[in-house]
Amino acid sequence: MDNNQKLVSGQKEKNPSLAAFLAIFPGMGAIYNGNIIKGITYMLIFAVLIVLTDNANDPDAVVFGLLIAGFFIFQIIDSFNEAGKINQSILTEENPANNKEDFSLFSAIIVLMIGIVFQLANFDLITYRQVTRLWPLVLIIFGIKIVYNYFKNEESKNGKS
C-alpha cells in the first residue's frame, strides 16, 4: 500500500493482531480501531455482566459467567475483524464509517436502558434479582437489531440491482 491511498482515505492502516491483543482489555480493541463509542459500550457491557454475575443466585451466576466468557471472546474477534475491514476499505477507498452512526444510536439506547434499570435498582424500585431475570430481553433486542439490519441491507442491494 502506498502513502497516497492512506492520504486519500484519511485513515491509517490498522494491525488486526494488535487490535485483538488490545481487546484483552474489553473495549480497547474497538477504541484502537477508531470506534470509541463501541469501545465504551463494550466496557459498559462487560462491567454490567460482572455486576449481574456478582448479584445473581447460583444458577443465574453460571449463565452470566458464560455470557462474560462469550462476550470476552466475541469482542476480541470483533476487534480483529474490524481492523481487517478498515484495512480493506483503505485499499478499495471505501468509507468504513457507513454504519458507525447507526451503531452509535443503537449503543446509546442500550446504554441508556441499562443505566435506567440500574438506577431503578439503586432506588429500590426494583431488585437486582428482577434485573437478572430481564437479561433475555437484551438478546431479544440484539436479535431484532440484527434482523432489521439484514432486511435493510437486502433492500439496499435490491435497490441497486
Q: Give the range of the structural domain holding residue 82, as residue numbers without chain letter.
A: 3-160
Phi, psi angle pair for 96, to nearest 5°: -75, -5
- The chain-wide mean pLDDT, for the chain, equals 80
Decide if 90 contacts 13 (C-beta within 8 A). yes
- In the prediction, which pLDDT does 93 show? 62
pLDDT-based confidence at residue 157 (cuts at 50, 70, 90)? confident
| 119 to 102, 115, 126, 128, 160: CA distances (angstroms) | 26, 6, 9, 11, 46
* Through-space distance between the first and last CA atoms of the chain, rounded to whole angstroms: 31
Q: How many domains does the chain have?
A: 1
Average pLDDT value for residue range 80-105: 70
- In the prediction, which pLDDT does 108 show? 73
- Distance in angstroms (rounded) separating the CA atoms of residues 26 and 115: 19
pLDDT higher than threshold 70 for residue 143: yes
Least confident of 64-68, 105-109, 145-149, 150-154: 105-109
Q: What is the pTM of this model?
A: 0.59
Average pLDDT value for residue range 56-75: 86
- In the prediction, which pLDDT does 65 show? 87
